[in-house]
Structure 1
C-alpha cells in the first residue's frame, strides 16, 4: 500500500506536466489557426490590392490610348508614356501579392503617372482650343480673302468696262468722205483714162478723249476687180495684229478738234478701170471710215 502511495505521489508531477503541455498545445494550435486565418485574410487583401492596382494601371493605359494630338512631338511623348505604363503593368503581374513594399512603390508611381497624364490632357486641350481658334481665324480670313477677291474682280470688271468705253470713245470717226479723180492739170474728172491722181478727202470728227499728236492716216483703194491699188509692196501698216498694204498715207497733227484731211494716190497709166471703188480709211490701228465711189 505504501508502495502504491509512493508511486502515485511520484506520477502526479508527470500528470501535471502532461496537462500543462496539453493546454499549451491547445493554445498554440489555437494561435496557429488564428494566425493562419489572419494571414490568409491579409494575403487575400493584398491580392485584391494588387488586382486593383493592376486595373488602375490598365485604366491609366487606356487613358493614354484615348489621347491624340495634332503635334507629332507630343504624340511621340505620349507613345513613350504608353509603353512605360504597359511595362509597369507586366511588372506588377510578376510580383507576389505579399510584397508590400513593391506594391507601395507601384502605388506611389501610379500617382505620379496620373499627374503626368493630367498634364498631357491639359496640353492637348489647350492645343485643341488653339487649333479651333486658328481654324476659326483661317475661316474668317478665307471669307475676307474671298470678299476681297470678289471686290477685286468687280473692280477689274468695272475697270475693263471703263477701258472699253474709253477705247470706244477714243476711236476716231470720219464724216464728209469723198473721192475725186484729178487729171495732170489738177482738174476733176471721172474718166479713168484721164485720171492722174485720186483725191480722198474726209473730216475727222472732234474727239477730246482720243490721243493727240502727229498721226499717220492710211487709205486703201480697192478696184472693182478686188485688187488693192499700191505704189509699193513694202508700203505696210499694222491692223489688228497683221501688217497689210496701204495705197497712200499722210501724217497729220491731230489735237482733238474737227480736222479736214485729203490724201492723194498717184495712179499709173492703165492701172484704173471703170466701175465702183471701195475706200477704207485707217488711223490709230482702227478702220475709221469706208465709202465707195464710181469711175467711168
Structure 2
C-alpha cells in the first residue's frame, strides 16, 4: 500500500515537473519572441528615423543651396542632423534614444519650415523690391527723357532767342563817289574819277536785342587786300580784324542807318571791290562794287 502511494506521488511530481518545464519553455519562447518583436520594431523605428534624418538632411541641403540669407542657421541645423545620424550608428540604441531623436527631428523640421517661411517672405520682399526698382528705373528713365526733352527744348528756344536777338543788316549799298565843291556827293562808276567809296546800310529793328551801344566795322578790299588806311583790332576770340571804318551807335531796338566814306590812299583801279560789314566778331552782310 505504501509502495503504491509513493508511486502516485512520484507520478504527480513528474507531471507537475513536465507542466513546469512546458510552462517555462512556453514563457521562454514567448519572451524570446517578444524580444525579437521589440528588436524588430526598434529596428523599424531606427530605419524610419534614419529615413527622416535623410529627408531632413536633403531638405536642408536644398535650402542651403537656395537660401543664402539664412545660410548660417541652416548650416548649424544641418550639422546637428549629421550628429543625430551619427548617433544612430551606435550599438547602444534604446527606445528612449529613438524617442529623443524623433523629438529632435521634429524640432529641426519646425526650424526648417520656419526658415523656409522666412526665406519665402524674403523672396517675396526681394521680388517686390525688384519690381519697385524696375518701376522706379522706368520712372527715372521717363523723367530723364522728359528732362532731356525739356533741356533740348530750352536749348532750342535759347538758340532761337539768340538767333532772334541777333542784329541784322539790310539795304547795303556801295558806290563810287566824288565830292563837289558844294560838299555834295555825286555817284560815279569810273574808277579814275572816284575819290572814295560810300557805304550805307540799315541796322534793322529788333525788339529782342538788348539796347545799348553797338559797334560796326566796314571793310573794303580789292583783290583780297584792304584798301586805304588799314586799322587793326584784336577780338576776344583771338582773331584780328583789319577794317577801314568803325562806328558805334546807341541802339534802341529801332532801325538805324549808317553811311561811311572809305578813302583810298591812291587812285582806284577798275575792277570789283568787296564790301563787308562786321559786328560782334561776325560777318553780317557782304556785297560787291564794280568800277570801270
Measured against the shorter chain, the TM-score band is: 0.7 to 0.9
Question: 2:26 is matched with which residue: 17, 25, 30?
Answer: 30
Matched with 2:226 is: 228
Matched with 2:139 is: 144
| SS of the residue 1:210 aligns to | coil
Matched with 1:117 is: 112
The 1:276–1:230 alpha-carbon spacing in structure 2 relative to 1, beyond 3 Å, is: same
Matched with 2:199 is: 200
CA separation in 2, counterparts of 1:213 and 1:230? 30
Question: 1:21 is matched with which residue: 17, 20, 24?
Answer: 17
* CA deviations over 1:3-42 (Å, ceiling 9, x no partner): xx76665565444434332221111111011111111111
1:40 equivalenced with 2:36 (yes/no): yes
CA separation in 1, counterparts of 2:86 and 2:250? 101
CA separation in 1, counterparts of 2:227 and 2:133? 67
Question: 1:243 is matched with which residue: 235, 239, 251?
Answer: 239
After TM superposition, the score normalised by the length of structure 1 is 0.83
CA separation in 2, counterparts of 1:71 and 1:107? 25
* Structure 1 residue 229: Cα displacement: 4.1
| SS of the residue 1:276 aligns to | strand
Instruction: Count how many residue pairs are aligned between Structure 1 and Structure 2.
Output: 287
CA separation in 1, counterparts of 2:177 and 2:234? 25
Structure 2 unmatched runs, 5+: none
Q: Is the 8 A contact 2:232 2:243 kept in 1?
A: no
Residue range with higher mean Cα deviation, 249-258 or 170-179: 170-179
1:92 equivalenced with 2:88 (yes/no): yes
CA separation in 1, counterparts of 2:64 and 2:257? 85
Q: Is the 8 A contact 1:230 1:247 kept in 2?
A: no
CA separation in 2, counterparts of 1:70 and 1:197? 95
* Structure 1 residue 201: Cα displacement: 1.7
Kindly report which structure 2 residues correspond to 1:212-291, keeping only aligned pairs within 5 A, or say none: 212-223=211-222, 225-229=223-227, 231=229, 234-237=232-235, 243-248=239-244, 249-269=246-266, 272-291=268-287
Q: Is the 8 A contact 1:230 1:245 kept in 2?
A: no
Structure 1 unmatched runs, 5+: none
Q: Is the 8 A contact 1:216 1:252 kept in 2?
A: yes
Question: 2:78 is matched with which residue: 79, 82, 88?
Answer: 82
| SS of the residue 2:269 aligns to | coil
| SS of the residue 1:245 aligns to | strand
* Structure 1 residue 243: Cα displacement: 1.5
| SS of the residue 1:291 aligns to | strand
The 1:70–1:26 alpha-carbon spacing in structure 2 relative to 1, beyond 3 Å, is: closer
Q: Is the 8 A contact 2:274 2:286 kept in 1?
A: yes
| SS of the residue 2:163 aligns to | helix
Q: In angstroms, what is the RMSD of aligned CA positions? A: 3.0
Q: Is the 8 A contact 1:171 1:210 kept in 2?
A: yes
